[in-house]
Amino acid sequence: MPSRLVDVLFWIAVVFLVGVYVSWRATRLDRLHVRVETARAALDAALVRRAAVVLELAASRLLDPATSLVLATAAHEARTADAESREFAESDLSRALRAVSEQPDFRATVVERGDGPALLDELDAAVQKVTFARRFYNDAVAATLIARRKLLIRMLPLAGNAPAPGFFEIDDAPPQL
């Protein structure tokens, strides 16, 4: 019967289109997960870099020993913190940097000495990149969480085994360099 054939063709077309749509949604979600992972790697790299520059500054003899100790301790804590206390340790490093940089004539004193200006520039770049990387990571997390909340994604296991990403919340207000 031709009408039966039309019916069959119609349903095949419907199934095909639904399949295309679901696969498109799955691709989008997959791309978002990749974006989150890439952004997370960039954030980790930026945090490691910041701690390394702070340790370099602490070891540079540009500062007095007490200031050096404050910075070295905060950077070490940030580096060795476990997943649970990571955000607190990184916030503490930001606060230590601010406290140090707010000493009267901090910049003027450091700039006068040998490789002071180069080190301050490196620190400025490292601090700003933490801000950038964190903003980009949280932005990717927000987009992914919204996509995962959609009905279709929840009904079909399109997210696979990927765990839901979490925001990274720290105090990253920059020091006055």
Partner 1 sequence: MKIGIVCPYTWDVPGGVQQHIRDLAEALLALGHAVSVITPADDDSPLPAYVVPAGRAVPVPYNGSVARLAFGFLSAARVRRWIRDNDFDVLHVHEPAAPSLGLLACWAAEGPIVGTFHASYTRSRMVSATAPILQSALEKITGRIAVSEAARTTLVEHLGGDAVLIPNGVTTERYAMAEPLPGWAGRGDGAEPRDGAGAIGFLGRMDEPRKGLQVLLRAFEILAPQRPGLRLLVAGPGDADDVFDKVSPALRDRVVVLGMISEADKVRAYHSVDVFVAPNLGGESFGIVLAEAMSAGAPLLASDIEAFRRVLLDGRAGVLFPVGDAAALAEATAELLDDPARRKHLSAEARTAVRAYDWSTVARDVLRVYETVVVPGAGVVESGA
What whole-number distance in Å separates Cα of residue 46 and Cα of residue 123?
A: 11
What whole-number distance in Å separates Cα of residue 38 and Cα of residue 136?
A: 10
Q: H or E stretch including 26? A: helix 2-58
Per CB under 8 A, 173 contacts partner 1? no
CB-based contact 95:171 (threshold 8 Å): yes
Q: Which is nearer to partner 1, 25 or 98 (CB)?
A: 25
Nearest approach in angstroms of CB 136 to partner 1 is 5
Nearest approach in angstroms of CB 146 to partner 1 is 7
Helix (H, G, I), strand (E, B) or coil at 39: helix
What whole-number distance in Å separates Cα of residue 144 and Cα of residue 138?
A: 10
Residue 70, CA distances (Å) to 51, 66, 106, 145, 174 in order: 13, 6, 15, 38, 17
Per CB under 8 A, contacts with partner 1 among 133-162 are 133, 135-136, 138-140, 142-143, 146
Per CB under 8 A, 103 contacts partner 1? no
Per CB under 8 A, contacts with partner 1 among 1-30 are 24, 27-28
Nearest approach in angstroms of CB 42 to partner 1 is 6
Nearest approach in angstroms of CB 161 to partner 1 is 21
Per CB under 8 A, contacts with partner 1 among 61-100 are none
Name the segment binding partner 1 (CB under 8 A); options: 10-18, 39-47, 61-69, 78-86: 39-47
What whole-number distance in Å separates Cα of residue 89 and Cα of residue 163?
A: 24
| Cβ-proximal residues to 60 (8 Å cutoff; 6+ apart), any chain | 115, 119
Q: Which residue blocks in 59-164 are alpha helix, DSSP H?
A: 65-80, 86-101, 106-112, 116-149, 151-155
Nearest approach in angstroms of CB 106 to partner 1 is 16
Per CB under 8 A, 60 contacts partner 1? no
Q: Which residues bind partner 1 (CB under 8 A)?
A: 24, 27-28, 31-32, 35, 38-39, 41-42, 46, 125, 128-129, 131-133, 135-136, 138-140, 142-143, 146
